[in-house]
Amino acid sequence: MKTPHHSTRREKREPGHRLTPIPFGLGLLMAALLIGCLWYFASNNGDFRADVFGPPPRPNQAESSLGKRVYVRNCLVCHQSSGRGVPRQYPPLAQSEWVLGQNWAGENHLVKIVLNGLVGPTEVNKERFVGAMAPWAKVLSDEEIAAVLTFIRNEWGNRAAPISPEFVAEVRARNAARNREWTQPELQAIPKTTGQTP
């Protein structure tokens, strides 16, 4: 009886038709990835609203031009042409949570600051500032305040929705009795609002 050639003995068997189970550890990893993906999608779906994922509406050219003129005339000295402010004295507007309506800050707080001013220590982007901001309610119209706020919310890499003159007028009317500047603790005690709810 002949023995098979040694090269034939080294060959593997033909693949069968049975499915071989995947290793337990790999199955566990795949299940964890699937659950993680489903959780991420469920918590970041934006309620399937189309406007959530698109860029905020851009101001029109006239609003942008008026806003820039108001900024150059009234705000540039403290907040600088770069929007970075002056260290420890005047806070930055570029990438500021106050300007972009992040964390506790809302559009209503931004309008209140421009109308009545701001005093006392403030914290912006985890940095402390001690300068004061003058009130502009008697100097700037609702249209000018809306335009300059829309300008700073869309300059220096900022991207945020425009502020309307109607919204500024509502905030002004609701705070007409106030005759002093705001402090950061006072503003933080007021719920943030956007759009038409000052």
Is the pLDDT confidence value at 197 over 50? Answer: no
What's the pLDDT tens digit per position in 135-160? 999 999 999 999 999 999 999 999 99
Is residue 65 located within the same domain as residue 106?
A: yes
* The pLDDT value given to residue 100: 94
User: 4-18, 73-87, 109-123 — which is least confidently predicted?
Assistant: 4-18
Does 12 fall in a domain? Answer: no
* The pLDDT value given to residue 12: 65
* The pLDDT value given to residue 196: 46
The CA distance from 55 to 155, in Å, is: 14
* The pLDDT value given to residue 1: 53
CATH number at residue 83: 1.10.760.10
* The pLDDT value given to residue 26: 87
Does 32 fall in a domain? Answer: yes
Q: Give the torsion through C-alpha atoms of 8, 11, 17, 20, to 10 deg.
A: 150
Is the pLDDT confidence value at 105 over 50? Answer: yes
Is residue 35 located within the same domain as residue 65?
A: no
Is residue 45 located within the same domain as residue 75?
A: no
Domain that holds residue 178: 61-188
What's the pLDDT tens digit per position in 81-100? 999 999 999 999 999 999 99
State whether residue 114 is helix, strand or coil. helix
What's the pLDDT tens digit per position in 27-75? 899 899 999 888 877 776 655 555 445 555 555 555 568 999 999 999 9
* The pLDDT value given to residue 20: 74
Is residue 36 located within the same domain as residue 75?
A: no
Residue 118 backbone dihedrals phi, psi, to 5 degrees? -145, 135
Number of domains in the chain: 2
* The pLDDT value given to residue 17: 67
The CA distance from 46 to 31, in Å, is: 25
